[in-house]
Structure 1
Amino acid sequence: GSWAIQIASKVCRLEVTATASHEKSRDWCTSLGASKVVDHSEVANLPLNSFDYILNLSDRVDISLLARIVKPFGRVCLVVGGEAIKAVDLSLFFFKRCSLTMEVVFARTRNWEEPERQGVLLGEIARALERGVLRPVTTSVMSWTEVGKAHQESMQGHSVGKTVMRVHP
């Protein structure tokens, strides 16, 4: 989410609404470029047809809810798999005539479909970092011996940004 907020707001110049439940996370989203931050528990109360684009990075979201809040002819990108997408009623998206896209990291290289495009995209991100358009999202550095703690914080929703695990030689 940290990268998505920055790319959408600073590179694509879109107005970004992010979701976050904790004050620390809300402040983080705003600092990255989100103009509005909604508590996860309030997403169901958002008005019908609220968004042109939706990027869903969580497997804990009811995907039918996304169909309700996307505008007709909008676009929804799901970066989730497994159980989260098995029972999706596609007709909810069909009648809005919106685009539904599934995204998997490195899908191009896995399927040998223009794998060089992955390098081009990563190069664009690197140049945006060098120009200061995007900023690194590392918020903590932990020793590899603390991997259990880092995982627990992430699974409990207590981590903000990215945690780098330092491996000692």
Structure 2
Amino acid sequence: MYYIDVLVIGGVGGVGSIAIQLAKLAGLTVISTASRQESIDWCKKLGSDYVINHYKPFVEQLEEINLKGVDYIFCLNNTDQHWDTITTSINPQGKICSIVETEEKHDLNLLKSKSAAFVWEFMFTRAMYQTKDMQEQHKLLSALSELIDQKKLVTTLTEVLTLINADNLKKAHIMVESGKMIGKVVVEYFE
């Protein structure tokens, strides 16, 4: 039997946390990246079958779990930093998706011999360009909401700061910018 796998780069963030769960619901083998123990624990709690360290080369770590590469890669953290290891880790005819813009030019020829695809995902594309399938965004978010209501997915909310004010906004930014935030922070209620 052939198993389809996905590597989620940045599994502890808000998007990664949901992506791990959706991939498990779809029946995929999920490998996510994390480096700190609490981040590793979070990814496993959400359903990651394996967690590898994003500061180390992926290929060697994938080989340690008996994978020569992966079928899908979802890059949610620093496409520039991970480009070489992404192109090396993708299986022939695999698909790579990133939501993180690049500052560097990258060699797509690295994917040619593998017939691998690279695509961008941007949440606002449909609305910005008034695409024919613009209503799909509503359907996707409604389906996600139903999965949360049915307790098939857990939310990514991990921190709540009460009262929207300058101090709490600063605290929230510090938490997010630290690079150590797990899940999402919400600042709620005006004074």
- Report the TM-score, using the length of structure 2 for normalisation: 0.81
Q: What is the SS of the residue equivalent to 1:133? A: coil
Q: Which whole-Å deviations, capped at 9, do the CAs of 1:22-80 have from their partners, x for residues lacking one?
A: 11111111111111111112244334841000000112632121010000001100111
**Does 1:19 pair with 2:37?**
no
The amino acid of 2:188's aligned partner reads: R
Partners of 1:50 and 1:69 within 8 A in 2: yes
- Counterpart of 1:76 (choices 82, 85, 96) is 96
| Contact 1:49/1:68, CA 8 A, preserved across alignment | no
Quote the residue 2:48 is aligned against. Answer: 34
Q: 1:105 aligns with which of 123, 148, 171?
A: 123
Structure 1 stretches of 5 or more lacking a match?
none
Structure 2 residue identity aligned to 1:106: F
| Aligned equivalent of 1:149, options 163, 166, 171 | 171
Q: Distance in 2 between matches of 1:118 and 1:32?
A: 24
**Over residues 89-141 of structure 1, what are the superposed CA-to-partner deviations in whole Å (9 max), with x where a residue is unaligned?**
00001111011111111211111112111001111101111111111110110
What residue in structure 1 maps to residue 182 of structure 2? 160
Write the letter of the residue equivalent to 2:155.
P
How do 1:41-60 residues align onto structure 2 when only pairs under 5 Å count? 41-44=55-58, 45-46=60-61, 47=63, 49-59=68-78
Aligned length: 166
Structure 1 vs Structure 2: percent identity of aligned residues? 30
Alignment partner, residue 6 of structure 1: 21
Q: Which moved more, 1:118-127 or 1:56-65?
A: 56-65
CA distance, structure 1, for counterparts of residue 34 and residue 84 of structure 2? 20
Choose from 139, 143, 157 the match for 1:120: 139
**Larger RCO: Structure 1 or Structure 2 (Cα < 8 Å, ≥ 6 residues apart)?**
2
> How far apart in 1 are the matches of 2:37 and 2:76?
20
| CA distance, structure 1, for counterparts of residue 35 and residue 172 of structure 2 | 19
Q: What is the CA–CA distance in structure 2 between the aligned matches of 1:49 and 1:101, rounded to whole Å? A: 22
1:93 maps to which residue?
A: 111
**Aligned AA for 1:2?**
S
Runs of 4+ residues deviating >4 angstroms: none
Q: Secondary structure at the match of 1:62?
A: helix
Amino acid at match of 2:137: Q
CA distance in 2, matches of 1:61, 1:14: 25
